[in-house]
Structures are given as C-alpha cells and as structure tokens.
Amino acid sequence: MKKVLCVLTLSLAPLLFSRRLDLNAVLGQGARGSSASIRQVRARNTLLTGQLTATLVLMATAGLFVTSFVRLTHVPLGFTPDALATARVPLAGTRHDGDAPLREFTARLLERARAMPGVSDAAIGSSLPLDSGPVVRLIASDRPRPAPDREPSAIVRAVDPGYFRTLGIRLVSGRTFTPTDL
C-alpha cells in the first residue's frame, strides 16, 4: 500500500505544479527571436521517434511479462498447495545424532502435529517440493564416465511414508513408501 501511495504522489506531483504555469507564456518565450534550424528539428523528431519506439517496446515487453506470469500461476504444480502449512525445524546439538534418536523425535513430532485441532494429516520431509536439496551426480559403473558437465544428477530428498498423500502428490506408477522401507 505504501508503494502505491509513493508512486501516485511522485506521478501526480509534476501535474499539480504544471497547472500553476502559464504554458503559453513559457512556450512563447523560447520561440521569440529564434527559429529552430533544420538540424534541430530533425534531431528533435529523431529523439521523439526513439522515445516512442522505446515506449512501445517497453509496453509490449511488460504485456508479455504479465501474460507469462498469469499463465505460470495456472500451471499445475504436481501437488496440492491449498490449506497446507509448513514448518522448518532445524535440529541442533548432539541429542538427535544417530538414526534412533532422529526417528524417535520425528515420530513424536508427527504425533503432536496430527493431534492439533484442524489438522487432517501431517508428514515430514527434508525439503518442500519446489525447494532444492542436495544434488548427487549419477554415474553408471558399467559405462564410460561422461564429461563433468554432462553427468546426470538428481536431488536427494528424505520423506516419510505419508509425504505424498499429505501433499496430494498423485502416484503415477509403482507403490507408495511403507514404514518397512525405512
């Protein structure tokens, strides 16, 4: 809201000041006793043409950006972001070191989250769907090693069995994770 008021103030201020000027007198003073040369007229017309061209290009570009943005807001994400709440819980210290304490902590956290009023499901993951995570390079041992910039890569993400169900991510093929996969 503050930005809108600032833009309106800065845009309308010159208009208010220009109303106080007698434009006929101001414009007439520059015309008395001097006439513009052909070179000045050509320069003025060239500058005006350049300004109009730049304005048209900028307006067309702005229109393309707005159209692209509107289209991007309607692209399916692959998950349902409606009515989701996320929380980032950093684990510091040594009391969560090791597999057993970490599993115990996440089980308690999930139990408490699911018990909260209004919560229909909860899940734990190392990152959100559109966040990046640690990237690993994939190299097949039975094939020649590709060039360093051509190695296939994947994002590593740790999730619990209910992650996809909770986020509304549709299973395309295969099966979902089960607690025995942990």
Residues 91/180, Cβ–Cβ less than 8 Å: no
- What is the maximum span of the chain, computed from C-alpha positions, in angstroms? 95
Instruction: Evaluate if pTM is beyond 0.75.
Output: no
6, pLDDT greater than 80: no
pLDDT of residue 22: 63
Mean pLDDT in residue range 15-24: 61
Averaged pLDDT of the chain: 81
**Residue partners of 84: CB distance under 8 A and separation at least 6:** 167
